[in-house]
């Protein structure tokens, strides 16, 4: 917390001098290209939203100033948008406050008042749903880089694009891994899924169950609980009693921390642990309880990889700036951001229709991406058909790519170690 003291002082100043005039943000130069970004910057999901915002700030800098080192990455080499005569990029951030209605208000404000050329966001699937509906009515392209709910691309929208892998992709990766492990002689006969009852928790659990069923993997136990639990001892005891071969946690950060600690307290160490993205990827989760969940397996669309690769360089830049590794949710967002700015550049115009056409024509190759997607190409529904992911394992303070073999940078270490 480098900023704590400064912010405390600022806060004291702010409270002492309420009469200070509100300082308006400096008026943007006329010729910037504005993209509206709607993320949860306050409320329960704020830590994720803040991390995404930080990553996007780095992205903006890469677009606006020359980064010749980032070979292949669109718009990195020069300044601003070459396709628009070098105009610079400006991101217009808005807070959705975790509410679908607020997200909608902000979308409307960004479109009608700030005249953004495209919208980007909005993290929670329910809010992506309502905000993209506003964009659709106004004919403004909307790019969703991280919301995974299936129904988002089933609405017949023409201005909606999504770069992230969705539920079924995630389930395929996990179950593929399980089958692979079985082939190598590891016993995985019983699988437990632990998920909260949010949209994220239930939808991911659902697709994993479906995929497991189809592939002959038995899900023997499903423990569901309400998000922001005060105690998870009962849940852990249920697991301990059934002792499944594999436990999959689908949890937000707050609950993931409690699970990590409670498993240690009750001395419960399943043979294999998968901690799905959200909570287990949160940098503050790794910071605070990472040493209690050593060997947890996670999915990721991003892993720093080997030196010299684009992903490695991106992570290095991020690390240099924020003092920690680029987390997976932020990486997916940043990847989506580069897809959007690339499309705007190719459109050569800020006309929404032309940007929409450019997005439709997107065909990015792995060499242009820093995430593990096989490319970016949108189908009729706006879903990226080339998205992909790999599995990583927490070893020390970092997630190391361990599966599939071809992309692994470290070796898989099983059984799950938990704490030392």
Partner 1 sequence: MSRRFTALVVVAVLLAAPLLLGNAFLQRVAALVMLAAISASAWNLIGGYAGQVSIGHAVFFGAGAYSALLVYKLTDWPPIAGAPVGVAVSLLLACVIGLPTFRLRGHYFSMATIAVAELIRIVVSNWQFVGAAVGLMGPAVPRSLADLSFLSPLPYFYLFAAVLAVLLFLTWQMQRSRMGFYLGAIRAGERAALSLGVPVLRYKLLALLLSAGFTALAGSLYAVMVGFVDAESALGILISVQMVIIAALGGAGTLFGPLLGAAILIPLQETTNALFGGGGTGLTYIVYGAIILLIARFRPGGLLELLHWRRRRVA
Partner 2 sequence: MILLQVVVGGLLLGAVYALFSSGLTLIWGMMNVVNFAHGDFVMLAMYVAFLGYTVLGLGPAWFIPLAAAVMFLFGLLVYFALIRHVSRGPMLAQILSTFGLALLLRYSAFWVFSANFVTLPDTLVGGNFAIGGLRLQASRLVAGATALLLTIGLDLLLTRTALGGRLLAVAEDRAAAQLVGIRPDRMQALAWGIGAASTGIAGGLIALFFYISPTVGESLALIAFVTVCLGGFGSVPGALLAGLAIGVIESLSAYLIGPVYQDVVVYALFVLVLWVRPQGLLGRA
| Residue 214 or 237 having the CB closest to partner 2 | 237
Element (H, E) at 329: helix 328-347
How many residues at the interface with partner 1, by CB under 8 A? 48
What mask of x and - would describe binding to partner 2 in positions 266 to 295, judged by CB under 8 A? xx--------------xxxx-xxx------
| Residue 155 or 261 having the CB closest to partner 1 | 155
Question: Shortest CA distance to 359 belongs to which of 329, 374, 379?
Answer: 379
1 binds partner 2 (CB under 8 A): yes
Give the integer Cα–Cα distance in Å for 200 and 98. 14
Q: Which segment (128-136, 179-187, 298-306, 333-341) binds partner 1 by CB under 8 A?
A: 128-136
- 152, 160 contact by CB (below 8 A): yes
Q: Which does 345 bind (CB under 5 to 8 A by kind): partner 1, partner 2, none?
A: none
User: At a CB cut-off of 8 Å and minimum separation 6, what does 1 contact?
Assistant: none
Following CA atoms 246, 250, 256, 260 in sequence, which dihedral angle do they give, to the nearest 10 degrees?
0
Q: Which segment (103-111, 256-264, 274-282, 371-379) binds partner 1 by CB under 8 A?
A: 103-111
Q: Which of residues 142-171 bind partner 1 (CB under 8 A)?
A: 149, 151, 155-157
Q: Which of residues 346-405 bind partner 1 (CB under 8 A)?
A: none
| Residue 49 or 352 having the CB closest to partner 1 | 49
Nearest approach, Cβ of residue 390 and partner 1 (Å): 28
364 binds partner 2 (CB under 8 A): no
Q: Nearest 5°: phi and psi at 31?
A: -95, 15
3-state secondary structure of 179: helix
| Residue 91 or 178 having the CB closest to partner 1 | 91
Question: How many contiguous H segments (helices) and E segments (strands) does the chain have?
Answer: 13, 12
What mask of x and - would describe binding to partner 2 in positions 117 to 156, judged by CB under 8 A? ----------------------------------------
Edge-to-edge, what's the strand order for the sheet holding 398-403?
A: 219-225, 191-196, 246-250, 272-275, 297-300, 390-395, 398-403
| Residue 100 or 271 having the CB closest to partner 1 | 100
Among 64, 253, 278, 300, binds partner 2 (CB under 8 A): 253
Among 238, 363, 365, 367, binds partner 2 (CB under 8 A): 238
Among 234, 319, 353, 363, binds partner 2 (CB under 8 A): 234
Nearest approach, Cβ of residue 403 and partner 2 (Å): 28
- Residue 348: how many other CB atoms lie within 10 Å: 15
DSSP string, 291-324: GGSBT-EEEES----STTSHHHHHHHHHHHHHSS
Question: Shortest CA distance to 125 belongs to which of 145, 101, 148, 157?
Answer: 148
- 204, 170 contact by CB (below 8 A): yes
Among 1, 4, 16, 18, binds partner 1 (CB under 8 A): 18
Torsion region of 355: left, alpha or beta (phi above 0 gives left; psi -120 to 50 gives alpha) = alpha
Element (H, E) at 347: helix 328-347
405 binds partner 2 (CB under 8 A): no
3-state secondary structure of 18: coil
Q: Which of residues 34-53 bind partner 2 (CB under 8 A)?
A: 42-44, 46-47, 49-50
Interacting residues toward partner 2 by CB under 8 A: 1, 3-4, 7-8, 11, 42-44, 46-47, 49-50, 197, 223-226, 228-235, 237-238, 241, 253-254, 257-258, 261, 264-267, 282-285, 287-289
Interacting residues toward partner 1 by CB under 8 A: 14, 18, 22, 41-42, 46, 49-50, 53, 92-95, 97-102, 104-106, 108-109, 111-113, 125-126, 129-130, 133, 136-138, 149, 151, 155-157, 197-199, 201-203, 224, 226
């Amino acid at each position: 917390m480098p900023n704590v003291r400064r912010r405390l002082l600022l806060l004291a100043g702010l409270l002492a001098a309420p009469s200070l005039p509100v300082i308006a943000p400096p008026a943007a130069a006329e010729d910037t290209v504005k993209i509206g970004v709607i993320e949860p910057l306050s409320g329960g999901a704020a830590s994720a939203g803040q991390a995404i915002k930080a990553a996007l700030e780095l992205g903006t800098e890469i677009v606006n100033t020359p980064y010749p080192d980032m070979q292949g990455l669109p718009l990195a080499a020069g300044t601003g948008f070459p396709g628009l005569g070098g105009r610079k990029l400006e991101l217009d951030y808005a807070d959705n406050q975790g509410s679908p209605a607020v997200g909608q208000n902000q979308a409307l404000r960004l479109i009608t008042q700030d005249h953004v050329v495209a919208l980007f966001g909005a993290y929670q699937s329910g809010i992506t749903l309502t905000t993209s509906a506003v964009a659709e009515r106004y004919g403004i392209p909307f790019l969703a880089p991280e919301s995974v709910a299936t129904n988002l691309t089933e609405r017949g929208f023409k201005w909606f694009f999504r770069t992230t892998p969705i539920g079924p992709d995630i389930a395929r990766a996990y179950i593929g891994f399980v089958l692979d492990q079985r082939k190598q002689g590891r016993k995985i006969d019983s699988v437990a899924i632990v998920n909260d009852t949010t949209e994220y928790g239930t939808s991911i659990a659902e697709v994993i169950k479906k995929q497991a069923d189809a592939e002959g993997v038995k899900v023997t136990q499903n423990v569901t609980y309400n998000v922001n639990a005060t105690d998870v001892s009962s849940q852990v005891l249920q697991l301990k009693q059934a002792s499944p071969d594999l436990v999959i946690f689908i949890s937000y950060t707050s609950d993931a921390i409690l699970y990590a600690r409670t498993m240690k307290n009750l001395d419960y160490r399943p043979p294999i642990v998968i901690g799905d993205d959200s909570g287990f990827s949160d940098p503050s989760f790794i910071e605070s309880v990472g040493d209690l969940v050593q060997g947890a397996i996670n999915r990721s669309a991003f892993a720093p990889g080997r030196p010299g690769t684009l992903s490695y360089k991106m992570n290095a830049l991020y690390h240099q700036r924020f003092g920690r590794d680029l987390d997976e949710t932020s990486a997916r967002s940043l990847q989506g951001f580069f897809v959007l700015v690339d499309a705007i550049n190719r459109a050569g115009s800020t006309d929404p229709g032309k940007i929409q056409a450019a997005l439709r024509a997107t065909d990015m190759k792995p060499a242009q991406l820093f995430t593990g997607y096989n490319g970016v190409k949108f189908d009729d529904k706006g879903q990226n058909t080339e998205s992909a992911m790999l599995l990583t394992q927490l070893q020390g303070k970092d997630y190391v790519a361990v599966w599939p073999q071809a992309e692994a940078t470290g070796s898989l270490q099983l059984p799950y170690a938990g704490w030392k």
